[in-house]
Chain A
Amino acid sequence: MEVLDFFFNSLVFPGLLFASLIGLLYVGIDRKVTGHMQHRIGPPIWQEYLDVGKLMSKEDITPHAAQSLVFNVVPLIALGAVVTVMLLLPVYSAQPALATVADLIVIIYLLNIPAICLMLGGYSSGSPFGSVGAARHVVQLFSYELVFILVIIAVVTRVGSLNLTTVVGYQAQHSWLILDWRLIPALIAMFTSIQGKLMRVPFDIPEAESKIVHGAMTEYSGPKLAIWRVVYDIETLVVAGFIAALFLGGPVAYTIGGVQIPGVVDFLIKTLVIVLITTTLRNIMARLRIDQALKFYLTFGALLAIISLVLVLVVP
């Protein structure tokens, strides 16, 4: 039974199938809302499914100049990493699907794997655009990751535990951490950080299409690009779920008028709100240069996170 459970968890719910279905839908919603914000119709919200399906049906090409092993394997590794994070997040209750001892540090590491895979894919693609994109990715990773980790440290210091389940449980007992004024700067820093993590404007520098085509993903096409898109979409969901767990109290099951609403609905609502906030952010700004992004993260972003950390430590 345990083995079956594990397979069900990792492949169906909340693993690959659920995560990709919801992730693709969320990015579809993101594109639709972006369209309306820009005063146009935009694609239908299921467009992302169509895109991935079409890419899947295309010929699989490995460029002649590419290091074929690395180039072909990294999308799968990235997919594995994001699906694993999905298993470690509280999706239907405070308890994640993979009830092991994995804590926040493991999630931080796993969330970095797609970025590292993308870098490797870019460097191994043998294309100058891929290399430039990968190099910018490295710079960007080092800038936003610092802010990301500082925010998590602030939250962890506030709660006093490195375990995500405990963080969610703490919020269920007391109140959501978003309501704690000492963590507001950290929340703002978190949103700037995930704009970089999800490569959205103003920090979509590694794939700035007017300069370096599609960055590290330039040489990817067909099914491999489809996997990258799924990875990106699941990553969007995962990061939103992670913030929901850290600040919005994670999934909570309600009973309204005698009807039991499962925790997963709460999870979906909270993550959608977070995705829509990032959508709005990406539509009201211009892309920064890589040096400006670095400066922004290392001064403004890090400063906000540190303010929160200090407030948590100093103010009782």
Chain B
Amino acid sequence: MPKILLTVVKNIFRKPFTVKYPYVKVEPPEGFRGAPVIDKEKCIRCWLCIKACPDRAISVNKETKKPSIWHGRCTFCGECAEACPTRAITMTKNFELATFDIQQARSE
């Protein structure tokens, strides 16, 4: 009890460890695996990403014939980014992916 009392009293005068998250953002470190995005210019349609994806989250858009990633299935493992021969897929630092519009849960 006395030991923890000392710490507790000390903590009142210290800066809190937590941050007010939605107002204060903490930048993820370099190499963070956030939402993957596809650079359509670089894509050569080799479909290696579709083979690499363990969740079958990548599908081919019928109109544009380009891959698109559905975040609803994506587990952000980064295998597609590793598999891509032209580095067309990159992992961004964006992790705030909640949305009301299902079309936005997709990296085209």
List A residues at the B interface (Cβ < 8 Å). Answer: 33, 35-42, 280, 283-285
Minimum CB–CB distance from A38 to chain B (whole Å) comes to 7
- Would you give 14 A-B contacts (Cβ < 8 Å), ordered by A? A37-B8, A38-B8, A39-B14, A39-B16, A40-B16, A40-B17, A40-B18, A41-B18, A41-B19, A41-B20, A283-B8, A284-B5, A284-B8, A285-B1
Are A36 and B1 in touch, CB under 8 angstroms?
no
List the interface of chain B (C-beta within 8 A of A). 1, 4-5, 8-9, 11-12, 14, 16-20
Bound Cα distance A153, B68 (Å): 78
Report how far A33 CA is from B12 CA in the complex, Å: 7
Chain B positions within 8 Å of A41 at CB level: 16, 18-20
Q: Chain A's nearest CB lies how many Å from the CB of B94? A: 25
Are the CB atoms of B1 and A37 closer together than 8 Å?
A: no
Task: Report yes or no: B4 in contact with A36, Cβ–Cβ below 8 A.
Answer: no
Docked Cα-Cα span, A35 to B19, in Å, equals 12
Chain B residue numbers with a CB within 8 Å of A283 are: 8
Residues of B within 8 A of A39 (CB): 11, 14, 16-18
Q: Given the complex, which residues of A lie within 8 Å of B4, measured CB to CB?
A: 284
Beyond the given pairs A37-B8, A40-B16, A284-B5, 19 more chain A to chain B contacts, judged by CB atoms under 8 angstroms and listed by A's residue number, are A33-B12, A35-B16, A36-B11, A36-B16, A37-B9, A37-B11, A38-B8, A39-B14, A39-B16, A39-B18, A40-B17, A41-B16, A41-B18, A41-B19, A283-B8, A284-B1, A284-B4, A284-B8, A285-B1
Query: A37–B12 contact, CB under 8 A?
Result: yes
A42: nearest chain-B partner, CB-CB: B16
A41, A42, A280 pick with most chain B CB within 10 angstroms: A41
A135 and B98 alpha carbons, distance in the complex (Å): 44
A191 to chain B, nearest CB (A): 14
- Chain A residue nearest to B8 (CB atoms) is A37
A288 to chain B, nearest CB (A): 13
Residue of A39, A41, A280, A283 with most partner-chain B CB within 10 A: A39
Kindly provide the distance from the CB of B78 to the nearest chain A CB, expressed in whole angstroms: 32
State how many angstroms separate the Cβ of B5 from the closest Cβ of chain A.
5
